[in-house]
Amino acid sequence: VQTARYLYLFNPWSNGERVMATATSGTSTYRRMAELAKSDQGIAYRHELYQHRVVEELFDVERDPDCLVNLIESPDHQAALQELRATLEQWMVDTNDHALTAFRERDNPEVREAYVLEKEREAAERRGGKRKKAGKNANDDAAATKPNRPRGKQQPDLISISLPDKTAVGRTIIAKITHQLSDDLGEQQLHVTLKQGKQGARISRQVVKVTGTGEVKLTFDVPEEVPSGYVSFAAFVGEEFQKNLQHIQSEPIPLVESVRTPAQ
C-alpha cells in the first residue's frame, strides 16, 4: 500500500531463511552488491535485507525516498501503520485475496509458513500439469524445473531444538540442536538462525555439518537493542532452504534486563 507519504509492504514468505526469487539477482548491479557485501558492513546489511526481507515494512517515502529505514516498530508511526494495515485488509476482503488469513495472522510464523508452502505446492502441481499437457520429455521436464529449485523430500523429526525460557540483551544464548539422521542421508548441513522481533529479521546464522545421531551446541550473541523485546530461532537441514529436509521455528524467547549467567 502506498500513499503520498508512506509505503507499506507485507511479505508473508519472509521467514529469515527463504531467499526472495527475483530477476534482479541476475543483473550486474546485484552481482557487484553481493561482492561488496563481503567487505562492507553497510552493504552486507542491505544485501541481507534484499535476500530475505522482513514480514512487514513501513517507509516514509517523503523523508526516506530510498526506503532505508523501516519504521514498523517506530512508536511515532503506529497510527499511520494501523491505517495502512486496515486499508490493505479491506482491499483483500473486497478482492477475496487468498493471503487474507496469512495477513490477519501475520504475527504467527506457523500460519504464514503453512500458507506459503500450500501456494508453493499448488504452483508445482500447475507446472506439472502444463508439462504433461505439452507432452514434454523427461529432459525437458528436468530443464523446466531446475530454475524453481524444488523443495527436498520433507522428513519429520530429523532435528529438534532446546532453548532457555528467557535471555537478556547484550548476552549470549546457546541453542542445543539434537539431530537424528539416517545412514542414507549421510552428512548434511545444519543451518541455525537467530532472529529478532515480530518481523523475524535475521541477527546471525551459523552453519555446521552433522551426521547420524548427536547434539550440537551453538552460541549466539544477542544485540544490545532488539525490537519487540524477544528473539527466536529457526533451523533447517539441507544445503539450502529451498531444498530443506526439515525446517523448524522456535517460540519467542523474551528478553529481560539482566540475567546472572549466560543462557544455557
Question: Could you give the CA distance from residue 100 to residue 258 in angstroms, rounded to a whole number?
Answer: 39
Residue ranges making up the domain that contains 141: 109-148
241 within some domain: yes
154 within some domain: no
Q: Identify whether residues 96 and 133 lie together within a single domain.
A: no
Q: Identify whether residues 172 and 211 lie together within a single domain.
A: yes
The cell numbers describing 2, all together, are 502506498
Interacting residues of 115 by C-beta distance below 8 A, sequence separation 6+:
12, 99, 101, 102
Q: What is the pLDDT along the chain (264 residues), one digit of tens a residue?
A: 999 999 999 999 998 888 888 888 889 999 999 999 999 988 988 998 898 999 999 999 999 999 999 999 899 999 999 999 999 999 999 999 999 999 999 999 889 999 999 998 998 888 877 666 666 554 554 444 444 444 556 677 899 999 999 999 899 999 999 999 999 999 999 999 999 887 788 889 999 999 999 999 999 999 988 877 889 999 999 998 878 999 998 988 999 875 444 444
262 within some domain: no
> Is 143 exposed, middle or buried (CB count within 10 Å of its CB: 0-12, 13-18, 19+)?
exposed
174 within some domain: yes
Q: Identify whether residues 134 and 206 lie together within a single domain.
A: no
H or E stretch at 124: helix 109-134
pLDDT at 134: 62
Number of domains observed in the structure of the chain: 3
133, 140 contact by CB (below 8 A): no
We report the CATH number of the domain holding residue 181 as: 2.60.40.10
263 within some domain: no
Residue for grid cell 530510498: 66
pLDDT at 261: 44
Q: What is the DSSP string of 38-64?
A: TT-HHHHHHHHHHHH--SEEEEETTT-
Question: Could you give the CA distance from residue 95 to residue 89 in angstroms, rounded to a whole number?
Answer: 10
209, 187 contact by CB (below 8 A): yes
Q: Identify whether residues 65 and 26 lie together within a single domain.
A: yes
Residue for grid cell 529479521: 201
pTM here is 0.66
204 within some domain: yes
Question: Could you give the CA distance from residue 55 to residue 108 in angstroms, rounded to a whole number?
Answer: 11
Question: Could you give the CA distance from residue 221 to residue 204 in angstroms, rounded to a whole number?
Answer: 8
pLDDT at 210: 96
81, 72 contact by CB (below 8 A): yes
Of the three residues 103, 122, 139, the one that is the final residue of a domain is: 103
